Chain A
């Protein structure tokens, strides 16, 4: 089958379109970065795509709440078109600000609110502050985006990444087995002695899925973890590899998510 085509939304302060496009291309697909206003003007272009991505960034500067203004714009002008797109056998992802956007637009349940990490070791408690670091995730469920992945380490960078939903919703998510990504203590948190949950997310939720796993929303950034030299401890690993006379790896864990998405259509 033909390789899929991806449309990556841009505009109003989204800012990780380029690296997201590159990750898909590395995985073998073609991708276009398109301004939301151009899609509103010509929504028919969504018909040519198999995958839509709302990438990371800072739409509207997080003013009035992260993802709110962009999510509203999306819902108003393209709500039906997105529903129509998802009625086909397509994939959609919201990464970081994109996750905040698709929850605000009602595509996935829940909300992403100000970081509120619990006290842990020497880490500050209750600091509602932007945080940039690597996290380790445990994978559950059966989303095509995450096929074959058990654990994965990739970076986060956000100020409002605490996943929140009312108890009933959380229970429903758990029973439907759609809490796809949870923060756990793994390779990087262990290496750097950092708490597993960086933002106080309920149930350590880092990402959830909808539409039978075809829609993935996640706070961490897999597109920033596609090369070995992007890892936070790669110079440390380099010493181990080279002392064992081994060649350095080239890839990094995030790439598999993009490969999975592409393979879904092949």
Chain B
């Protein structure tokens, strides 16, 4: 039977008021007077009326809520009601909790096929038209994952909807795929996917004609066709997403591929130089799910950053929850399981304007039915997603950023990263190594398998277009994962119950089991044993599904009973689905029938190597003319602070728990004025003052001019941010995350090669090894404008560098805020005339769309790593005070720096303003004589020259500080104090009050 319980509040409801406020802001012309909300739980199970009453009572807090089991609780009068619920098969966390509550109070488990589905009624009151209500409905739901119905106020009946999955397919079967077809058909098969009986394509395999021919040849030798399970499995294993083919395959003269030469090559060179002795901080690099460096004698610290771009474009909330809980599993899947101790995020989006839509409406299909979500909704959604994923997992969100550029309009770039901590050894066993052994059970733990996320791996190797599969969107369930995480990190790992573990991420079981089978040398999987969310899935779907919150373990047979018990106590499903072997084959069965039987060597190494060629691109550029430059520098200063690339994102920092686990040392918002920092310091162990420093660096705008310079600046910025927080270069590692676009064009490949070359040059110059990385190569959107014209939007080549450092004493950690009046302000490094692709020129509109021949403005900042390294090392010494202590009233003092901020986007103007706003102190500054070739007032203020740091120092420590900087580029530029900032420039003087700067800095996202 089907029953429905509805619950609503009996007191003023902040959630409903939130809707009202948001909708009024988005639709200022709609006369909306009130909103109320009722939650609905639709139960499809054998429950009596009395059972229903019992469950309803449990779902209601009688102090503030009431329920009904007969009707939908509605306000006395309303104009329209909108019901929003999930589409069949979409993860419904609220529904799942309601089911568990029901099971608990009724004292019985729901049967297979029984479920609780959640939905929500939103009642709108006011003088609305049906059109208004429909506009609100469009704003409040995402048609890819949710269903919505509008009811008029006259309607009293709300029909019950049961979003049960009904699969038309016969289900559990594997089909033969005929490869003995012409090249055109074969190419189509590779591009668009296998054809179902009805003629519908299943979705891209993303296999080239060459790859398809290799597969055809392989199976011809075997004298048979592949099954769909085999072909789909090969497609995902060989995908760009999993094999990183563009980085791996030869590019021009780089025969070993740019990853091996430039990224891994840099790390190898640094490690060789350091020798295998004490100075080599790397412990596990590029081999596992995360990279790891030494934390101390007992622990390792791991880090991994991922992107989840295409799914976030379609469903920003689900996409970003999955981004963060997914990368958490890269921590749990490091070695035998590291504990996640910090999350980081980054959102690259188009300018998020107000109103229901951006000025440009774009569509994924020619018929203009599938509208691309406006940038505002994408940002709102991804912010909420990390909120849910991070907060619910109990992992502090230590650091993050928002970067805005029109080129992210087609596909946003959504970064999520997780830092982990793992003991080096336990009971004599190295926890950072793992090996599945022949004879071990293959055990799947966590959630069940549904149709979610099918083709995720091959999808992310393609542009976003009308054919993008909606099933590519998964929604994470952080609580299921938290339970799984507790069972692993708190118990099973330390009892040594399993020999290997990996995350079920891209490609699902086919990916995780396929990878782990490399350790033992083969596997046999029985798909009929895999627990499913619902019946009717085809076998290839079970094998490839990317349903979330799952991991795969290799469990020695003798440990199975003990392991099973632990997972049962934690209320986490654990199922044996097969066995690891050393047969050299990956075998998948259903019942007794083999549906896949492929040699491991062909599965992993059979992919044809693609020879890639690049073509040199030169961007000619000119300097802006005097008339194009800004006139009013005071205005420019206030305006640049109000830009989303520079201004406060406190609305995000405040809604992400950064205090959980009690490890936070320096916060996301620093100083009295709460300014966003570009670094964070954590103390992971309560008994040791050792700390972890996290920092980010990204300068994607410079890609318009030169990707080598963009890369160099990104690395320099990440290192500089870390050093400003107290890290030192000799204990610092970095991670690379490339987000490219149109990566199959020779021009973009040239830009990629240049970027990779810079990775090698700058990382080796600084001695900071890469320990992990990831790439996403097709951040392109191909769709249609409002008038139906074709449009292609390529995200500007973007590289996020994440720095991971260790410091011996967190009490030396540094923040960006000016601390006391009277302190001297110093500038480290040269200010050159490098305004190219700067925030200042972007603000003036002197930015041309990315094109191969169009001119862009200005010189882009260049990095002098050799000179910068000396200046950074000096700052590390000055902050730690180890070598150059100074005395104050005969007390030996350690650090002589009161504040340090890296000069980055927005140049000196932004850096000065941030330290001022953070400290809520004014400053008197003279920039007439700053070192470097910037001579014009605006160049001095806004140039983004790398290698610069703004530091404040108390008077008593000045001589010690200057001594450390002897022979390096350093100038005292002023003093902290007063209620306003005054900046002397060669020609002009700029003045603004602390209050004005604070208001400007907080203005962009003020109402978010």
By a beta-carbon cutoff of 8 Å, the part of chain A in contact with chain B is: 10-13, 15-16, 18-19, 22, 26, 33, 35, 37-38, 56-65, 68-69, 72-73, 76, 104, 110-111, 113-116, 122, 124, 126-133, 155, 157, 159, 162, 164-166, 191-193, 200, 221, 223-224, 226-230, 232-233, 235-236, 238-240, 242-243, 245, 248
Contacts and interface: CB of A to CB of B under 8 A. Distances in A.
B813 A13 contact: no
B656 A132 contact: yes
Contacts of A131: 654-655
Contact of B18 (A64, A126, A243): A126
A17 to B, nearest CB: 9
A21 B394 CA distance: 15
Contact of A19 (B9, B569, B661): B661
B400 to A, nearest CB: 13
Query: Which A-B residue pairs are the 4 nearest by beta carbons?
Result: A15-B394, A116-B14, A63-B97, A19-B662
Nearest to A57: B394
A34 B508 CA distance: 32
B197 interface: no
Contact of A63 (B18, B93, B811, B1002): B93
25 contacts: A19-B686, A58-B391, A60-B479, A61-B478, A64-B39, A64-B94, A64-B97, A64-B101, A65-B59, A69-B101, A76-B105, A116-B12, A122-B1006, A126-B21, A127-B18, A132-B658, A166-B63, A223-B662, A224-B659, A227-B686, A230-B662, A233-B672, A243-B888, A245-B888, A248-B811
Given A69-B100, A126-B18, A127-B18, A133 B664 contact: no
B686 A22 contact: yes
Nearest to A243: B954
B683 A229 contact: yes
Main secondary structure of the interface of B (DSSP, over half): mixed
Nearest to B658: A132
Interface in B611-660: 651, 654-660
Given A223-B662, A229-B813, A61 B14 contact: no
Contacts of A243: 820, 888, 954, 956
Contacts of A127: 18, 21
Nearest to A156: B659
B570 interface: yes
A113 B14 contact: yes
B42 to A, nearest CB: 14
Contacts of B569: 35, 37-38
Contacts of B670: 235
A164 B104 CA distance: 27
B575 interface: no
Contacts, number: 202
B195 interface: no
Contact of B571 (A12, A57, A62, A63): A12
B815 interface: yes
A69 B97 CA distance: 7
B58 interface: yes
Interface string B550-579: 000000000000000000011100000000
Contacts of A76: 104-105
Given A65-B61, A248-B811, A191 B15 contact: no
A61 B392 contact: yes
Contact of A15 (B100, B482, B683): B482
A114 B14 contact: yes
Nearest to A59: B479
Interface of B: 9, 11-15, 17-18, 21, 39, 41, 58-59, 61, 63-65, 93-94, 96-98, 100-101, 104-105, 387-388, 391-394, 477-479, 482-483, 486, 490, 569-571, 651, 654-662, 664-667, 670-672, 674, 683, 686, 810-811, 813-815, 817, 819-820, 888-889, 891, 893, 898, 954, 956, 1002, 1006-1007
A12 B387 contact: no
Contacts of A33: 490
Given A16-B394, A126-B17, A132-B656, A239 B665 contact: no
Contacts of B889: 245
Contacts of B21: 126-127
Contacts of B39: 64
A118 to B, nearest CB: 11
Given A15-B394, A243-B954, A165 B101 contact: no
B655 A128 contact: no
A221 B659 contact: yes
Nearest to A10: B486
A61 B93 contact: yes
Nearest to A60: B97
A64 B683 CA distance: 35
Contacts of B14: 113-116, 126, 128, 162, 200
Most chain B beta carbons < 10 A, residue from A22, A37, A245? A245
Nearest to A41: B569
Interface centre among B9, B15, B58 (most CB of A within 10 A): B58
Contacts of B392: 13, 58, 61-62
Contact of A232 (B100, B101, B394, B667): B667
Contacts of A157: 391, 657, 659-660
Contacts of B490: 33
A56 B820 contact: no
Which of B18, B97, B659, B667 has the most chain A CB within a 10 Å cutoff?
A: B659
A132 B497 CA distance: 38
B891 A245 contact: yes
A239 B9 CA distance: 49
Given A19-B661, A63-B96, A124-B1007, 6 more contacts: A58-B391, A60-B479, A61-B477, A224-B664, A227-B683, A239-B820
Nearest to A63: B97
Given A110-B63, A114-B13, A229-B665, A130 B657 contact: yes
A184 B667 CA distance: 22
A68 B811 contact: no
Nearest to A37: B569
A233 B659 CA distance: 14
B660 A224 contact: yes
A37 B571 contact: yes
Contacts of A38: 569
B661 A128 contact: no
B18 A128 contact: yes
Given A61-B392, A65-B61, A104-B61, A236 B18 contact: no
Contacts of B9: 113
Contact of A130 (B12, B391, B661, B667): B391
Contacts of B41: 64
Contacts of B658: 132
A42 to B, nearest CB: 11
A57 to B, nearest CB: 6
B672 A191 contact: yes
Contacts of A69: 97, 100-101, 104
Contacts of A72: 58, 101, 104-105
Given A60-B479, A242-B893, A18 B661 contact: yes
A164 B956 CA distance: 53
Contacts of B657: 130, 132, 157
B984 to A, nearest CB: 27
B15 A114 contact: yes
A260 to B, nearest CB: 19
B980 to A, nearest CB: 18
A152 to B, nearest CB: 15
A128 B666 CA distance: 26
A58 B481 CA distance: 12
Nearest to A100: B61
Contacts of B486: 10-11, 35
A68 B13 contact: no
Given A11-B486, A72-B104, A113-B14, A236 B61 contact: no
A236 B570 contact: no
Contacts of A64: 39, 41, 59, 94, 97-98, 101
A239 B11 CA distance: 48
A221 B661 CA distance: 11
